[in-house]
Amino acid sequence: MVSRPSLETATASDPDHFVEPLELGKRVKEIRLTKGWTLEEVSKRTGIARSTLSKIENDQVSPSFAIVQKLIGGLGMDLPQLFVEAQEHSMAGRRDITRYGEGEPHPTATYEHELLSYSISRKKMVPFKTIVRARNFSEFKEWVRHDGEEFLLVLSGSVVFYSEFYEPVELNEGDSVYYDATMGHIVVSLSPEDAQILWVVAR
Amino acid sequence: MVSRPSLETATASDPDHFVEPLELGKRVKEIRLTKGWTLEEVSKRTGIARSTLSKIENDQVSPSFAIVQKLIGGLGMDLPQLFVEAQEHSMAGRRDITRYGEGEPHPTATYEHELLSYSISRKKMVPFKTIVRARNFSEFKEWVRHDGEEFLLVLSGSVVFYSEFYEPVELNEGDSVYYDATMGHIVVSLSPEDAQILWVVAR
DNA sequence: CAATAGAGTTTATTTTAGTAAACTTGTGAA
DNA sequence: TTCACAAGTTTACTAAAATAAACTCTATTG
């Protein structure tokens, strides 16, 4: 038999377009073994030949997208799961306390932010308390706008919440609003003292 | 020339393993045009032949995973982006105000929850205010435990925050804690009046 | 209105993925 | 030990993807 080049060889011969192999095979095998399935069982579930599955697990082929889709169906997982590294979540069993007034300060011209739980990175939410210095819509050059969703709770004082597609609305102590942060949004104080709010952002 | 079956035909002949085609081609073309690139430019960037790109965009082939990886690199996108339907996020341009005391009540023996922003579903975070009725660790049968991460802010009164892997800690008004919610966690009031806290959960 | 060139498609061919069947390896029963 | 067979790998082959080159279509220019 004429030996065919292995995947590795083929890839190495084309270094310009080498991409992190993503260890697809390893990942698939891992999932299969976790569920205690044999190649034959996965073959029945997916309609992919046993031999093909073996090659995929050993990185002897670069499966076509059609095959990858069958795999996903058969292994009962969604696409991101297959590729995104089995990232043990960074929060595992952790907690982070922030005492009153001891957050990380982030002052700006219009807002005075105090970042809470700043010692844990890579978390799903970012909570911060903000003293709203701004009194006027015009103090902002532009709508504030960013990815994700935002929750706002008025802790003290009262504010006006401006948002791109809605009329401005007054919010008093204890009122809250949940909104799409890609929509322009701006908050100004209405009370004599600067209002204080809690903000939580999630991407 | 002998005509070869189209992708559609091939798929249709194997209905058992038919999966949503995911309109990969459409998606790739969309991205390419957005960036104002020609097939030739993408070819140079990815190392994939112009003809192959054309076929991918027109769903005439089911590209191999190696090709998909090159595509991702060349188009400057990550994998999920390529596959996850350009899902208009459900929050698009929306906001939801909850006035003080007007959330959706959810009383339990130990906690009295008031769900905020309950009219928007499928959001990234779930915020609620809770009056902590419990005074004692023993009022709970089991650790409370669920997926995701949780942020807690004490709005009034003082509490003790018990968590599975840490010593109990006293939290007073304005203190906050961010933690992994899969770790057992329980809160009890310490002050004469029931403490009130804000909770935000993200999955 | 040729002639040229840019962008995309199709053809013809090579290369690689996908499969059935043969083979290997390991395990346990008789 | 030998037989059976179950799980996985490799072989030999077929089907399909990947490519270069030829082609089509538009738009532009002299």
pLDDT tens column, A34-68: 888 999 989 998 889 999 999 999 888 989 888 88
A151 and A68 together in one domain: no
- Per DSSP (E only), the strands in chain A are 95-98, 104-107, 111-115, 125-132, 149-156, 158-163, 166-172, 176-180, 185-189, 195-202
User: Are A109 and A189 in the same domain?
Assistant: yes
pLDDT value of residue A168: 94
Instruction: Specify if A36 maps to a domain.
Output: yes
Same domain, B114 and B54: no
- The chain B residue lying nearest A80, using CA atoms, is B80
In a domain, A108, yes or no: yes
In chain A, residues with a C-beta closer than 8 Å to the C-beta of B96 are: 177-179
Kindly report the CATH number assigned to the domain that includes residue A31. 1.10.260.40
Q: What local confidence, expressed as pLDDT, does residue A70 receive?
A: 86
Contact in structure between A160 and A170 (CB atoms under 8 Å): yes
Q: Do A151 and B203 touch (CB under 8 A)?
A: no
- Please report residues of A whose CB lies closer than 8 A to that of B79: 79-80, 83-84
Establish if B2 belongs to a structural domain.
Answer: no
On whether both A77 and A131 belong to a single domain, the answer is no
Q: Which of A64, A65, A90, A182 to mutate to test the interface with B (most CBs of B within 10 A)?
A: A65
Q: Label residue A2 by pLDDT band (50, 70, 90).
A: very low
Which chain A residue has its CA at the smallest distance from B19's CA? Answer: A69
Minimum Cα–Cα distance from A176: chain B residue = B98
Among B13, B176, B198, B201, the strongest candidate for a mutation testing the A interface, having the largest count of A CBs within 10 A, is B176
How far is it, in rounded angstroms, from Cα B11 to Cα B115? 47
Provide the sign of the torsion angle of the four alpha carbons B77, B79, B85, B90, taken in this order: negative
> Does residue B138 sit in the same domain as residue B194?
yes
Question: Given this model, what pLDDT does residue B93 score?
Answer: 78
Residues A119 and A64 in one domain: no
Residues A67 and A108 in one domain: no
- Same-domain status, A107 and A195: yes
Residues of B in contact with A13 (CB under 8 A): none
More confident residue, B86 or B72: B72
The gap between A35 CA and D4 C1' (Å) is 27
C-alpha distance from A133 to closest chain B C-alpha (Å): 20
Average pLDDT over residues A24-28: 84
State the pLDDT at residue B89.
Answer: 60
Residue B46 lies in a domain: yes
Report yes or no: B56 and B63 within 8 Å, Cβ to Cβ: yes
| B7 within a domain of the structure (yes/no) | no
What's the CA gap between B23 and B111, in Å, rounded? 47
Instruction: Note whether A192 and A129 are same-domain residues.
Output: yes
Torsion of CA A6, A8, A13, A17, to 10 degrees: 130
Is the same domain home to B122 and B196?
yes
Query: In terms of C-beta density within 10 A (0-12 exposed, 13-18 middle, 19 or more buried), how is residue A59 classed?
Result: middle
What is the structure's pLDDT at A191?
93
Running DSSP on this structure, what letter comes out for residue A49?
Answer: -
Q: Is residue A132 part of a domain?
A: yes
Task: Closest CB to A177: pick one of B19, B69, B96.
Answer: B96
Q: Which amino acid is at A199?
A: W
User: What is the overall mean pLDDT for chain A?
Assistant: 82
Domain shared by B75 and B111, yes or no: no
Candidates A124, A166, A178; nearest CB to B202: A124
Percent of chain A with pLDDT over 70: 82
DSSP secondary structure, B98-149, as one string = E-TT-SEEEE-SSEEEEESSTT--S-SEEEEEEEE----GGG-SS-B--SSE
Residues of B in contact with A97 (CB under 8 A): 161, 169, 171, 175-177
Q: Is the pLDDT of residue A82 over 50?
A: yes
**Residue B32 in domain:** yes
Whether residue A182 is found in the same domain as residue A129: yes
Contact A65 B66 (CB under 8 A): no
Protein-contacted bases of chain C (C-beta within 7 A): 6-12, 16-22
- A54 CA to C29 C1' in angstroms comes to 29
CATH of the domain at B143: 2.60.120.10
**Residue A35 counted as domain residue:** yes
Tally of structural domains, chain A: 2
On chain B, the residues whose CB falls within 8 A of the CB of A176 are 97-98, 116-117, 127
CB-CB under 8 Å, A47 with B177: no
What pLDDT is recorded for position A83? Answer: 53
Domain that holds residue A120: 102-200
CA of B170 to C1' of C11 (A): 76
